[in-house]
Structure 1
């Protein structure tokens, strides 16, 4: 099955963006990854990121093949919470969604509502936004294994 990313669809925390859903299996993206011949980067022996033309980054756990994070990049036009977009000043973002807190170590804004935002250090505008699975901070996810078969996909 070939996937198409729609850069105009809403960004939905805990769910996905661009018509792509979190927890999807990497096998659903083979045609997209191969045909676009874009950059990939292995982050640890268990995580890989595929960059799709300034549109999105797809982050997979190689132990189970599941998509655990999707990052909207500069060409993504869809909105978060029907108002927040890439290029917006962070002060405007914080007025709309005060749940964002700055994380000094990661240098991103984090919301308990399931979203990360990175801003330009000079302009203070949104560079990218990431949605992720609820298990993102789970030690088992970082190690590439899972108690009770991480995300119920033990097969």
Structure 2
């Protein structure tokens, strides 16, 4: 099951769920989750109000995870879904604002989306390194 208090570890895991896990390995989690088919290649499962799991449909592997409002674990032991936007770069100077995507992005394998109404981190996303590759959708990873 998902541990909503577990640390967020970029390129590795969130909620004690590891990136690259297969849908079969996480069948107990996704069987009780809401499913969304996003496109021909991606499928998302929302686990209660805790976490979103993104799988590639070609290889059935987990390539991205995003916190939802109920997630309580910390990123780098200091950033969480309630961290004020103004504190993000103070807590970790690897974050740079991407104006096109409107996210705080780190070269450490994580990006943070801000709720514009309250100016706090609301969604923290980790992903596999291959997501940035041109051949990602071939799912050879």
Question: In terms of Rg, which structure is larger?
Answer: 1
8 Å Cα contact 2:113/2:123 also seen in 1: yes
Cα root mean square deviation, aligned: 1.1
Specify every segment of 5 or more residues in structure 1 that has no aligned partner in the other structure, as ranges: none
* 2:138 pairs with 1:145: yes
Which contiguous aligned blocks of 4+ residues in structure 1 show a shift greater than 3 angstroms?
none
Give the structure 2 partner of residue 30 of structure 1.
27
- Indicate the structure with greater strand content: 2
How far apart, CA to CA, are the structure 1 residues paired with 2:74 and 2:102? Answer: 22
State the aligned residue count.
141
Specify every segment of 5 or more residues in structure 2 that has no aligned partner in the other structure, as ranges: none
The 5 A counterparts of 1:1-155 are 4-34=1-31, 36=32, 38-141=33-136, 144-146=137-139, 150-151=140-141
TM-score by length of 2: 0.94
TM-score by length of 1: 0.86
SS at match of 2:87: helix
- Indicate the structure with greater helix content: 1
